Amino acid sequence: MWYVNDNENSIMKNATLHQLRVFVVAAKHLSFTKAAEELFLTQPTVSMQMKQLTKAVGLPLFEQIGKRLYLTQAGQTLYDSCQRIFNELGEFESAIADMKGLKQGQLNLSAVSTTKFFLPRMIGPFCQQYPGVELSLRFTNHEGILQYLNENQDDLYILSQLPSTVDVVSHRILENPLVAIAPAHHPLAKERNIPFERLSKEPFIMREPGSGTRQALEELFHKHETYPQVRLELGSNEAIKQAILGGLGISVLSQHTLTLEKDTGLFAILDVEDLPLQRNWYAIYPSGKQPSVVARAFLEYLEADPQLLKEAEELTIDG
């Protein structure tokens, strides 16, 4: 028998799903300003929603100590419940979408930042084929993706380094070669078979901690028993490319980052021993998860279309 709690004092009688969504984002960032940015709302709207939710719950959800915002115990409990509620709702939505076939549905993808250079383009034909599918694609670094994966936030995750702590089902999409990049006029650009250790003598521009590229490079330098001379640490491939052009140093990045510079002659790919480092891009999901019809169609699309793969491979540049 169904039972609806219509007790006047029930929290859910007064709180709305929208308020809970706003709360989850505010709790994730521990900032109303950042929540407002992510949700395209104004900061006073977020504050108002949180005020009403706090009233519905009857206990403070956040506390401010100095300049920082923290979750109270009630806030943390609500956050944990919301994670479960939204996961359930996500599963419900995919079940309904499955019942309706591929005419409509939601596909939530998260991908490591380096895939920005090819993934949105690769997705284009899929969206044209299934215009009713709503797609959300967000980018963060490798560590961020692992967090989304642990929290079961998305349908599929696209990365290069397979996680070691979570069992996943993985589908290989493409190669991801890491290459040494310098400005075109760099003295090493003319040399051949440069010993790997030579890279340690150059000022090096490194991705931020948490980046998959950085992790792969640390392992590579470790294997060669040498260290890069890190002159600058930057949180984006685009910024690193600018810094290389600014003469601040060289770097090792995915060859996909040079997709649009293929014919510009701005950069040189150095001929270094042990490079390119051959890695792969994978689409993954946790082993226990049942991918929705839309997610399965997307995986098939990525795997099945040789033309698509050919085009994506061509987007990379020849050494």
Where does this chain bind ligand PGA (CB under 6 A)? Answer: 112-114, 141-142, 159-161, 176, 207, 211-213, 254
- Complex with ligand PGA: residue 142 or 241, whichever CB lies closer: 142
Least CB distance to ligand PGA at residue 114 (A): 4
Least CB distance to ligand PGA at residue 161 (A): 5
Least CB distance to ligand PGA at residue 208 (A): 8
- Complex with ligand PGA: residue 19 or 115, whichever CB lies closer: 115
122 φ/ψ angles, rounded to the nearest 5 degrees? -65, -30
- Complex with ligand PGA: residue 238 or 273, whichever CB lies closer: 238
Least CB distance to ligand PGA at residue 189 (A): 24
- Complex with ligand PGA: residue 125 or 163, whichever CB lies closer: 163
Looking at beta carbons, which residue is closest to ligand PGA? 212
Q: Which two tokens stand for residue 143?
A: 């560590």
Least CB distance to ligand PGA at residue 37 (A): 22
Least CB distance to ligand PGA at residue 75 (A): 30
- Complex with ligand PGA: residue 117 or 285, whichever CB lies closer: 117
Q: From the CA atom positions of the chain, what is the Rg in Å?
A: 23
- Complex with ligand PGA: residue 159 or 269, whichever CB lies closer: 159
